[in-house]
Each structure stands twice: as C-alpha cells, then as structure tokens.
Amino acid sequence: MIAVLNKIDSLMESALKPLVPVLLLVSRLWVAWVFFRAGQTKIASWDSTLYLFEYEYQVPVLPWELAAYLGTAAELILPVFLVLGLLTRPAALALFVFNIVAVVSYPALWEKGFYDHQMWGVMMLATVILGPGLAAVDNFLKRRG
C-alpha cells in the first residue's frame, strides 16, 4: 500500500513540476497588480491619502506623513521589481512585511479584506522561499555572473 502511495505521489510530482514556474510567475504578477493599483489610487487622490494616514491608519513607529510617502512609494516601486523578476526575493519580502503593516495599521481590513491579505502574503512568502521562477531577470543576471 505504501509503495502504491509513493508511486502516485511521484507521478503527480513529475506531472506538476513544470507548473511551478507558472505558479510563481502568476503569484508575482497578481501581487504586483494589486499593490500597484493601490499605489495609483493613493497618488490619484493624494489629499485623501494624507487624510487616511493621519486619521484612519495606525501605522506603528513612523509619523503619518512619512508613512504615507513610504507606503505609496512601496506600492508603486516594489511591484515593478516583481513583474521584472529583478531583486525578486527582497522585493517580495519587503511587500510581505508591508502587507503585514497594512493589516495591523488598518483594523477595518480585518472584517472585509483579511482573506485577500492572507492570500497575498502566502504568494509573496512562496516567492521569497522558492524564488522568482524561470521568467525573471534575476535568472539572466545569475547566468551572466
């Protein structure tokens, strides 16, 4: 029985292994799209963004105005690195931490958006652990160096 289970597992692993780079690429692109759009929303209505950071968000440690600028910059810059697959692990780790700060800073997310933030967190953590996948500038740079 154990031999049969091992054989099934081995066959499934062999069949699914080519999909790992696709999963990593989709994860990178999805998270990049979500965070980049959030950054675009922030700069489109900067006065509202400043208001939210001053009165709604409870960002720990940082002054609200600095948090607004850094948060918006992170949402606009880090996704570009994910899309390109450039410095992918550090960018994914930075967005993973940023995601945690967003959830901690804005308790309203706990009711409606917590599931999404968990999913994005898992996608970024997978990217940090497994790397960018095949479609990444990081791989090109590794081969050249």
Asked whether the beta carbons of 78 and 103 are under 8 A apart, the reply is no
DSSP-derived secondary structure letter, 17 = G
Structure tokens at 54: 């001053």
Averaged over successive runs of 10 residues, the pLDDT of the chain (145 residues) comes to 92 94 97 98 97 93 96 98 98 97 86 90 97 95 89
Structure tokens at 71: 């948060």
Q: Would you state the pLDDT for residue 113?
A: 83
What's the pLDDT tens digit per position in 80-113? 999 999 999 999 999 999 999 999 998 877 788 8
